[in-house]
Structure 1
Amino acid sequence: MFSTSEKPLFRAPALFSSFSTLIAAESTRHGGVSPAPYQSLNLGLNTADNPRFVEENRLRFFSALGINPERVATSHQVHGKEILEATQPGRYDGYDALMTNQPDLYVAVSIADCVPILVYDGKNKAVAAIHAGWKGTVAELVRLTLETMQQQYGTRPGDCYAYVGTCIDETSFEVGPEVAEKFAPEFKRVDEFTQRTFVNLRSANTRQLTNFGIPTAQIALSTYSTVLNNEDYFSHRYENGQTGRLMAVIGLKS
C-alpha cells in the first residue's frame, strides 16, 4: 500500500471496512512511475502520459488492492448519463456509471476534480461506481444509477452504503452564470465581495443519495479535496489541465 516515500497508493473508505468480501478504494497520486506533470500514480489512459507508465501504475494500484487487473471494467467517460451494467471486464466507451452484481468483477471510474461515488447493495451483492462532474450532477446520474440498480437487482435504499469521494471542494469550484443557474440555491454560494459563484458538487450528489432513501448513517463523505490537498490528489482545474487521473474502484471478491 505504500511507496518508498511512505505515501499511500490509495485510501479505503472506513464505511465499507466491515464487509470482508468488498474491495473499495480511491487512489492517490503517490507510488507510481510517471514523471511531471503526471507524477506519479497517473491512472488515466486518456492523458498524454506514456501509456507504458500508466499501465505500470494501474498494475501497482490494483495489485496493492489484491485485484487482478484483467477483472476490471472501466469506460471512456463523456460527462453524460449513460449507465453500463458490466457483466465482463474490459474498456468500454461512453459510460459515466458502471454497475455489476458479478463477483470478482470490479467497476472503476477516473477522476481529477469530478465526484466519484461508490455504492454497495449489501443484500443483493451489487456495486456501482459513478463519475459525476457538474453535467452528471445536473443530470442526476446518481439517482439514475440507483434507480437502475433497483430495476435490475432489486436494490432497496436501506440495503445501500454509499461513499462520496474526493473531488474539487466548494471553495474552489467557481462557475459562470450559465452553470450556476442549473443548481438549486442550497448548492451554490455567491461571494459577497467578488460576486463570484461557487458550487458544492459533493453536497449536490449526496442529496441524490438521501432523496433515494439511503440512511445518512450509511453514507460517508471524503474529507479531502483535489485542490486543497493537491499534494495527494490530481486536480484538472488547479493544475490547468496538465495532470494525471485518479481512480475509484469497487467490487466483490469471489
Structure 2
Amino acid sequence: MNTPPATSSPLYRSPDIFASFPELLAAESTRHGGVSPAPFASLNLGLSTADIPENVAENRSRFWRALGVNPHQVATSHQVHGSEILTVTQPGHYSGYDSLITRHKGILLAVTVADCTPVLIFDLRHEAVAAIHAGWRGTVQGIVTKTLEKMQLEFGTDPADCYAYVGTCIDECSFEVGLEVAEQFSDVHQRFDPATGKHLVDLKIANRDQLLGVGVRKDHIQISAYSTVLHNHTYFSYRHEKGQTGRMLVCIGIV
C-alpha cells in the first residue's frame, strides 16, 4: 500500500477516531463516484449483486485507487451473518467469516455492508486491527465481543489499548423487526413502537456496548453519525431500497 490521502474524498469517509494514527488506513465507502447505473448508482462495490461485474470491478478499482491501495493487498470474506473470525496472514478472498483480524502490516481488511453494522478496531500497542460485519444475528451472537477475545488470545490485545469505530448502518428508528428478533436483544437495545406495532432495534448501541463490555474505553469509541436509511443519498440501504441496491466496503489496515 502507498501512503493514503490525508483527507476523505467523495468516494469514502475516514473515521475521526483514527486520525491521530498516520500508520493506520481506515475508510468507509459512500455510494458516490462510481459507474453503476440505477438501482446500483453509483459506487457499488458488492460482488454479489445483480450489477454488471465490469461496473463493480471499475468501482472497486476507483475506490482502492482513491485510498492509494493495491487491491492485491486486500483481505475479504464471503459473509454469512454469523460470528466466525478469521486470523488473516495473507490477502485474498475467503468464505464463511464475518470478522477478520490481523497483525500483518500491508494487509487491508474489508467487510461489505448495506444496513448491517461495520465495526473497525485498532489495537495501538500491538498494531493489530479488526474489521467486523455485525448483522443482527452476528450482534446477538456477540461477534464484537468474540473478536476482541480472539485478539486477546492471538495478539495479547488489551481492550483498554484499542480504538474502535461503529460504522454507518440502519438506524434505530428505521430498523423495524418482529418480536422473534426483538426478544433476542436486551431491553436497552430494543423498544416497542405502539404506532406501528413493531419493535425497533439499535444495532449501533448494541455493538458499542459489546466494546464497552470487554473494556474498550468510551472515549476511544466513535459511532457514525450517518444512517443508511436517513442518508440514503450517500449510502446504500438494502432494506430501504428493497434489496435492489449496491454495497459499501469498510476497511482498515496498517500501512
Q: TM-score, normalised by structure 2?
A: 0.96
Q: Is the 8 A contact 1:10 1:27 kept in 2?
A: yes
One-letter amino acid of the structure 2 residue matched with residue 88 of structure 1 = Q
Q: Deviations over 1:159-205 (max 9, x none)?
A: 10000000000000000011011000011111133332100011000
Aligned partner of 1:9 in structure 2 is: 11
User: Residue in 1 aligned with 2:209?
Assistant: 207
Q: Deviations over 1:23-58 (max 9, x none)?
A: 001000000011111010000001111111111111
- Alignment check: 8 A CA contact 1:115 1:132 kept: yes
Question: Matched residue of 1:226: which SS?
Answer: coil
Shift of 1:59: 1.0
Listed as ranges, the matches of 1:82-97 within 5 Å are: 82-97=84-99
Q: Which residue of 2 aligns with 1:59?
A: 61
Q: CA–CA distance in 1 between the matches of 2:195 and 2:75?
A: 46
Kindly report structure 1 stretches of 4+ aligned residues shifted beyond 2 Å: 192-195
The residue aligned with 1:154 is 156
- Cα distance in structure 2, aligned partners of 1:86 and 1:50: 29
Paired with 2:68 and 2:92, the residues of 1 have a C-alpha distance of 18
Q: 1:206: Cα distance to partner?
A: 0.4
In the other structure, the counterpart of 1:135 is: 137
**Cα separation, 2, equivalents of 1:103 and 1:50:** 33
Q: Give the structure 2 partner of residue 71 of structure 1.
A: 73
Q: Which position in structure 2 is the counterpart of 1:239?
A: 241
Amino acid at match of 1:179: V
Asked if 2 retains the 8 angstrom alpha-carbon contact of 1:7 and 1:31, the reply is: no
Provide the C-alpha distance between the structure 2 equivalents of 1:98 and 1:42, rounded to a whole number of angstroms. Answer: 22
Q: Which residue matches 2:146?
A: 144
Choose 161-170 or 60-69, whichever is displaced more: 60-69
Is 1:123 the equivalent of 2:99?
Answer: no
CA distance in 1, matches of 2:42, 2:195: 38
Structure 2: which amino acid aligns with 1:217? D
Percent of aligned pairs with the same residue? 59
Other-structure match for 1:47: 49
Q: Deviations over 1:52-97 (max 9, x none)?
A: 1111111111111111111000011000111111111111111000
Which blocks of at least 5 consecutive residues in structure 2 are unaligned? none
- SS of equivalent residue, structure 1 residue 243: coil
| TM-score relative to the length of structure 1 | 0.96
> How far apart, CA to CA, are the structure 2 residues paired with 1:92 and 1:157?
26
Return closer, same or farther for 1:178/1:166 CA change in 2, 3 Å cut-off: same
Whether 1:112 aligns to 2:132 is: no
Q: 2:192 maps to which residue?
A: 190
Provide structure 1 residue ranges, at least 5 long, that are not aligned to the other structure: none
Deviation at 1:157, TM superposition (A): 1.2
Q: What are the superposed Cα offsets for residues 128-159 of structure 1, whole Å, 9 maximum, x if unpaired?
A: 00001110000000000000000000000111
Please, which of 180, 183, 191 is the counterpart of residue 182 of structure 2? Answer: 180
Aligned counterparts of 2:9 and 2:38: Cα–Cα separation in 1:
17
> Structure 1 residue 8: deviation in Å?
1.0
Give the aligned CA root-mean-square deviation in angstroms: 1.4
In the alignment, the residues of structure 1 paired with residue 133 and residue 34 of structure 2 have an alpha-carbon distance, to the nearest angstrom, of: 23
Tell me which amino acid in the other structure corresponds to 1:245.
R
